[in-house]
Amino acid sequence: MLELRLVQGSLLKKVIEAIKDLVTDANFDCSATGLSLQAMDSSHVALVALLLRSEGFEHYRCDRNISMGMNLNNMSKMLKCAGNDDIITIKGDDGGDTITFMFESPNQDKISDFEMKLMDIDSEHLGIPEAEYHAIVKMPSSEFSRICKDLSSIGDTVVISVTKEGVKFTTRGDIGTANIVCRQNKTIDKPDEATIIEMNEPVSLTFALRYLNSFTKATSLSESVTISLSSDLPVVIEYKIADMGYIRFYLAPKIED
Amino acid sequence: IIAQISIRQFYKKI
């Protein structure tokens, strides 16, 4: 028996919209800890890891660990039928082949339920160890989104370099080149608008802008984004989900062949 | 030539 009641249902709507173009089908793993997901894109270049902790739900019942395979496009179709202010409850039975989404309007005058077919997904789970990163950049998520969008009109790849000067985003294309440098900026009253650079050593890595632009679909989930870089690891782009958990995107770099 | 590498080259299957 599974029953998860999420008062801020819009969070689930946003999460699915953020990952559905990257991942087609995924297993949602439900345990006492919370609802989690790990999936790679079809070309195995990017990986998404989601955690919604049980404490973030108003009611959380998960009698035993369960993995539910869902088509994210179908899930998106169903969740789009929920209002932004609706409370969403996810219900499932052990061993069942469907899941039910119940939507309640804030004043309880409209209650809908949508039953979705589950699917068997043979997905591989990768172990992601804790790592020390050469540099961690925290910046406004809207700024990061703007940079990725702007640069993708000029080039296909971006070099992200962190030095003591700041974080530099560089691209090159047929029409020319572009460099955007963001310096550390802690002086603002609002911490969400700050750019904070923690650097242990300088790092410079190249990534496909197509993927970074896809990750920025999570921008509405969090005011700030954290970019963790190491020369020998995929970049981690993390959006915190208020009081509940996170959505992390891992992207393998491009290297000189 | 710049080549895209796979996420699998970094993390092992569990």
pLDDT tens profile A156-170: 999 999 998 899 999
Whether the predicted pLDDT of A17 surpasses 80: yes
Contact B10 A234 (CB under 8 A): yes
Looking at residue A124, what is its pLDDT?
A: 85
Per-residue pLDDT for A91 more than 80? yes
> Tell me, what's the ipTM?
0.96
pLDDT in tens, A157-216: 999 999 988 999 999 999 999 999 999 998 768 888 899 999 999 999 999 999 999 999
Answer for the pair A142, A207: CB distance below 8 angstroms, yes or no. Answer: no
The pLDDT mean for chain A works out to 96
Distance from CA of A254 to the nearest CA of B (A): 4
Burial of A53 (0-12, 13-18, 19+ CB in 10 A): middle
Residue A96 pLDDT more than 80? yes
- The B residues from 1 to 14 touching A (CB cutoff 8 Å) are 1-14
pLDDT of residue A187: 73
- The residue among A41, A48, A126 with the most chain B CBs within 10 A of its CB, best to mutate, is A126
A45, B6 contact by CB (below 8 A): yes
Instruction: For Cα atoms A108, A110, A116, give the angle at the middle one, nearest 5 degrees.
Output: 115
Query: Can you state the angle between helices A10-19 and A72-79, rounded to 10 degrees?
Result: 150
pLDDT tier, A257 (very low <50, low <70, confident <90, very high otherwise): confident
> Which candidate, A109, A102, A123, A141, places its Cα nearest to that of A49?
A123
Instruction: Search chain B and give the residue with CA nearest A124.
Output: B13
Residue A243 confidence (pLDDT): 86
Contact state of B7 with A128 under an 8 Å Cβ cutoff: no
Give me A35's structure tokens.
């609802």
Count of Cβ atoms closer than 10 Å to residue A69 Cβ? 17
Residue contact B3–A255, C-beta within 8 A: yes
Q: In chain A, which residues have their Cβ closer than 8 Å to the Cβ of B2? A: 157, 206, 254-257
Note the pLDDT of residue A161: 98
3-state secondary structure of B7: helix
